[in-house]
Structure 1
Amino acid sequence: MAFQRDTSFVPIPPPGEDELPYDDGEPMESERHRKQMDLLIEALDLLWKERDDVYVGGNMAVYFSELQAKKNDFRGPDVFVVLDTVRRERKSWVVWQEDGRTPDVVIELLSESTEKVDRIDKMRIYAKLLRVPEYYLFDPFTGVLEAYALDLATMAYAPVAPGAGGDVASPRLHLGLGVRRGTYHGLEADWLRWLDPEGRVVPTGEEQARAADERARAAQHEATLLAARLAEYEQRFGKLPGGG
């Protein structure tokens, strides 16, 4: 009699990012919310364009348990950063496909419809289940920034006092966060910005292009002044040796 293997107890692997919904089903609250999310992600992507060990995501699903995936009852972070990972395209962040890696930093953009969830439900999940070390809340319309650090003893968030100028440090990213007035994609507002260790704003692509243009114009101006001085000198004293 031939032996037949009993496969009835072979475990079914949990679903991955290709099987799970990757849109959390919640659009950004307003144009300013959407642009604020894009600004934070864009600036970090440009700052770390040479790195392949970090992932920056936003408004995408984060799955941390099979039960939660089945119920699909958790809206993803507005902005999150994961260190010590692989930089690649993802449909969603599935913890059991990422060697257990969870976000190191989460930023939620407050609105009237989401503030209660961000302050209660999400704060509990980020602290007790995902154990996110740094949690930030920012209201794009009031410009109020709040910072929280995870207390490992209580698995709860403790407020972090801002600096003298209202900026806060992100120890995990070796960066800062602060509110700065500016224009992003045609909208002038008080934006939440990443700050480098010297306190300078981490630029967006538009700002990098504008700075490059300003440097080019300054260089052209200097060249024009130098040429004018040279012409004046030669008119008064004759051409310089070797000047042709």
Structure 2
Amino acid sequence: MSVELTAETNPQIADDLEWEPPMPPTDLIFDDGEPLESNRHRIAMNVLIRSLQQAWSNRNDFYCGGNMFIYYSSAQARNRDFRGPDFFAVLDLDGNKERLGWVVWEENGRYPDVIVELMSPSTANVDTGAKKDIYERIFRTPDYFVYNPFNPNSLQGWHLDNSRKYHELEQNDRAWLWCESLGFWLGTWEGTIDRETAVWLRFYDSDGNLVLLPEEAAQQQAEQERQRAERLAAKLRELGEDPDAL
């Protein structure tokens, strides 16, 4: 004789029917109060963020940030195992949404498409070891780069290949690395930004042109307008007109 198992005849079934998967934690911390390694690291991070935002100022389908926590699992959140890349970008999503950090389960499972870690002597081994391993195996981030703002020759990068493994990128003749996800080169540029002179990590477009910061773009536009005005004045003088009298 067979007995039909129901919630009434088997309490275990009732327990199973009432079981629900645990919800992700909501008491997330987005600021641990730890500053960046140095002022130069802070500027270097902002250069990458602001130049990408300037380059894509007519787009709202991407998000980029820096020194922000990325939460990707409940266990990681409970253990306060913070992951805060110095720069990251995520493509093909709503870039206008306000975010205190990047919470993967609130972003339809999306992870960064590009990560840049700004190394120091104390973090280099982790950035090229444990972090690189997490970005490869868990995040599946297609493009990962590291650079020490105090060492112009420290740029390294990896791209996720078809076997889901990182392979190291080769530098071009300018010692730049191609970022496939963004369609930009990553290379160095020497100059003064925010009153600090250094060799900065910058983006370059596919033609090799520097991706400008907002203030650089404004300065360039002002210079172009000045040159146009000078050409117009010269043309008027050729025609016998006084441009200052107009």
Given the two structures, how large is their TM-score scaled by the length of structure 2? 0.85
Alignment: residue pair count: 226
Q: Does 1:225 align with 2:234?
A: yes
Query: Alignment partner of 1:43: what SS?
Result: helix
| Mapped partners of 2:205, 2:102: distance in 1 | 27
Identity rate, percent: 40
* Deviation for aligned residue 1:193: 0.8
Identify the match of residue 36 of structure 2 among 28, 50, 55. Answer: 28
| Alignment partner, residue 98 of structure 2 | 89
Q: Check conservation: 1:146, 1:159, Cα contact below 8 A.
A: yes
Query: Alignment partner of 2:136: what SS?
Result: helix
Could you give the per-residue CA deviations for residues 142-177 of structure 1, whole angstroms, max 9, x where no partner exists? Answer: 112111112453x44221111111111111111111
Query: Alignment partner of 2:64: what SS?
Result: strand
- Regions of 4+ moved over 3 Å: 6-12
Identify the match of residue 183 of structure 1 among 192, 202, 205. Answer: 192
| Mapped partners of 1:50, 1:213: distance in 2 | 20
| Mapped partners of 2:20, 2:130: distance in 1 | 35
Query: Alignment partner of 1:231: what SS?
Result: coil
Root-mean-square deviation (CA), in Å? 2.1
Identify the match of residue 155 of structure 2 among 145, 149, 164. Answer: 145
Could you give the per-residue CA deviations for residues 207-230 of structure 1, whole angstroms, max 9, x where no partner exists? Answer: 011101111221222233223333
Q: Does 1:65 align with 2:73?
A: yes
Aligned partner of 2:83: which letter?
A: R
| Mapped partners of 1:48, 1:183: distance in 2 | 23
* Deviation for aligned residue 1:34: 0.4
Change (3 A) 1:9 1:188: same
| Mapped partners of 2:71, 2:144: distance in 1 | 18
Gapped runs of 5+ residues in structure 2?
1-14
Q: Does 1:121 align with 2:99?
A: no
| Mapped partners of 1:192, 1:208: distance in 2 | 18
Aligned partner of 1:59: which letter?
A: N
Identify the match of residue 85 of structure 2 among 46, 67, 77. Answer: 77
Change (3 A) 1:24 1:146: farther
| Mapped partners of 1:149, 1:11: distance in 2 | 35
Gapped runs of 5+ residues in structure 1?
1-5, 234-244
Q: Does 1:42 align with 2:50?
A: yes
Given the two structures, how large is their TM-score scaled by the length of structure 1? 0.85
Q: Check conservation: 1:135, 1:147, Cα contact below 8 A.
A: yes
Aligned partner of 2:82: which letter?
A: F
| Mapped partners of 2:67, 2:122: distance in 1 | 16
Identify the match of residue 105 of structure 1 among 99, 109, 114. Answer: 114
* Deviation for aligned residue 1:74: 2.5
| Mapped partners of 1:69, 1:226: distance in 2 | 67
Change (3 A) 1:105 1:24: farther
